[in-house]
Structure 1
Amino acid sequence: MSTATKRGRAEAARQAKEALAAQERKRRALFAGAVAVVVLIVAGLIGWAVWAGQKDGGDSGATPPAAGFTAGTGPVAVDIYADFMCPACNQFEQQTGPTVDQLAAEGKITVTYHPIAILDRFSNGTQYSTRAAAASAAAAEGGKFVPYLKALYAQQPAEGTDGLSDDRLVEIGRSVGLGDEFAATVKDGTYRGWAKRTTDAASERGVTGTPTIYVAGQELKDRSPAGLQAAVAAANP
């Protein structure tokens, strides 16, 4: 066999070896990509499962950790802690609520509502404050938190009564456009655990009564419309 022939065969063998190596690298890359996709899918499923598992006390779109439900996207943070059994909270909503709505609509504030349950003792053992807060979380899940809040205040029971029944809470939800999923969530008590956690979080922040309002982290003393507007203006000169 000539030297040229030997060299040709050697070169052909080398090229074949390199081609096989390239194919192997490509196969490994494809396998690694497939594994990465599977990992992402599994991670997504786990994330969904974690969210679903939190529904027994989950955040339902709440700002973390179990903080509340937001409206508006303005630069000044306004936090409203309220109990649906609290007459003073209803008074604040009727008096200053429209100003809150206006400031949020004008892009001046981001308001976070914190439904808490500190007045269960005034509902004859029915835990109305907890049930109402939990129902408002279910309304938030259905995209109707603010309309539901206003409807609850419009039919607020007096302190010292049983409060509204779960059936009545469902009826109020239906009046603002919530459906069967909301009804099931209210009757199952899905978010009562969440109501407890958000109440505990409020206590840890130093909230001892309702309504308590913070503007840019500072407690609002003058809860009138003018007082709120002045505090927001001072926080964003």
Structure 2
Amino acid sequence: MGGAERTARKRRQQRTAGADAVARARGGNDTKKVIAVVAAVVLVAAVVIGGVLWTNASKNATEGQKIQPAAPAAADYPERREGVVVVSGAQDAPATIDVYADFLCPVCGAFEQAYGQQIEQKVAQGELRVRTHVLPMLTEKSDPPGYSLDAANAALLAADEGKFSEFHDSLFANQPEEGKRGYSDEQLIELGRELGITSKSFADGVRAGTYDAQLQAELQRVLADPSLQRDFGNGQRGFGTPTVVAGGTIVDIGDQQWLDKVIQQAKS
């Protein structure tokens, strides 16, 4: 064997030994396993990134959205603000109910969907007067916090402009999800414009939080009122939204005939 041949064979042996060492350091030389592991890591990373992007998009679903105005009430009826309570309907209506609600509360949204039109019809027919208490109970439950209070303040300002019902119904018809982004002041102001509110005082009041302090004081009053507390089971009592009160008594809104019963009782 010549010297050149011996040198070439030695180099081949060194390359083979080096490859074996690398394979041992990697736990073996199964290339398919290495590729599979790398592919799995890439897939997991893609799923995580996709999940983060989807979560952020879902959380910010209201960003840049226009709040669609709800259809106006079928008939006009008197409406006025009394402090932080909005009174709708004729003064001499036989029945009066107090409705306590939060614009972010999903159960309040379901209540409006189930009974909102019926209540408006009874008000328009002169059979019912409604005292609406918009409460900022869930102010910390939006991201960022504050939507519950901002919406309540804007609704009271809309009442000053004679547009409470339309504003109220629009916010519930386009209700954001609890725990996610609500609507900004500018989006609330734009809704007002869509409903015909063009005064500078409305926009300024939304941005400044004109009724914020009064709304927070009203919430504390309501939370401390024993007549508004209910039994939630397991020895727990407290206040929750929505709550409807008629004649000083909390109404069982689980009864689908509750509204007719309230009016009939008031007339009897």
TM-score of the superposed pair, with normalisation by structure 1: 0.69
CA distance 1:104–1:223, change in 2 (3 Å): farther
Could you tell me which residue of structure 1 aligns to residue 6 of structure 2? none
Q: Unaligned regions of 5+ residues in structure 1, if any?
A: 1-60
Could you tell me which residue of structure 2 aligns to residue 33 of structure 1? none
1:200 is the counterpart of 2:220 = yes
Could you tell me which residue of structure 2 aligns to residue 140 of structure 1? 159
Amino acid at match of 2:133: H
Superimposed CA distance per residue, residues 83-131 of structure 1 (whole angstroms, 9 cap, x where no aligned partner)? 0000111111111011111111111111011000111121134211111
CA distance 1:200–1:152, change in 2 (3 Å): same
CA distance 1:153–1:221, change in 2 (3 Å): same
Q: Is the 8 A contact 2:153 2:206 kept in 1?
A: yes
User: What SS does the aligned partner of 2:81 have?
Assistant: coil
- Judge which range, 123-132 or 166-175, deviates more: 123-132
- How far apart, CA to CA, are the structure 1 residues paired with 2:257 and 2:159? 29
Could you tell me which residue of structure 2 aligns to residue 29 of structure 1? none
Aligned residues: 175
- How far apart, CA to CA, are the structure 2 residues paired with 1:133 and 1:139? 10
- How far apart, CA to CA, are the structure 1 residues paired with 2:150 and 2:255? 28
Q: Percent identity?
A: 33
| Higher alpha-carbon Rg | 2
Deviation of 1:181 (Å) = 2.3
Q: Is the 8 A contact 2:105 2:241 kept in 1?
A: yes
Deviation of 1:178 (Å) = 1.1
1:124 is the counterpart of 2:155 = no
Amino acid at match of 1:192: D
User: What SS does the aligned partner of 2:99 have?
Assistant: strand
Deviation of 1:204 (Å) = 3.2
Q: Unaligned regions of 5+ residues in structure 2, if any?
A: 1-79, 230-238
Amino acid at match of 1:166: D
Superimposed CA distance per residue, residues 144-166 of structure 1 (whole angstroms, 9 cap, x where no aligned partner)? 11110001111111001121111
Q: Is the 8 A contact 1:96 1:223 kept in 2?
A: no
TM-score of the superposed pair, with normalisation by structure 2: 0.62
Amino acid at match of 1:70: V
User: What SS does the aligned partner of 1:78 have?
Assistant: strand
- How far apart, CA to CA, are the structure 2 residues paired with 1:225 and 1:167? 38
1:183 is the counterpart of 2:203 = yes
Could you tell me which residue of structure 2 aligns to residue 70 of structure 1? 87
Q: By percentage of residues, which structure has more helix?
A: 1
Superimposed CA distance per residue, residues 180-227 of structure 1 (whole angstroms, 9 cap, x where no aligned partner)? 321111011111112212212322333511000012222111356522
Amino acid at match of 2:135: I
Could you tell me which residue of structure 1 aligns to residue 263 of structure 2? 232
Matches within 5 A, 1:154-165: 154-165=173-184
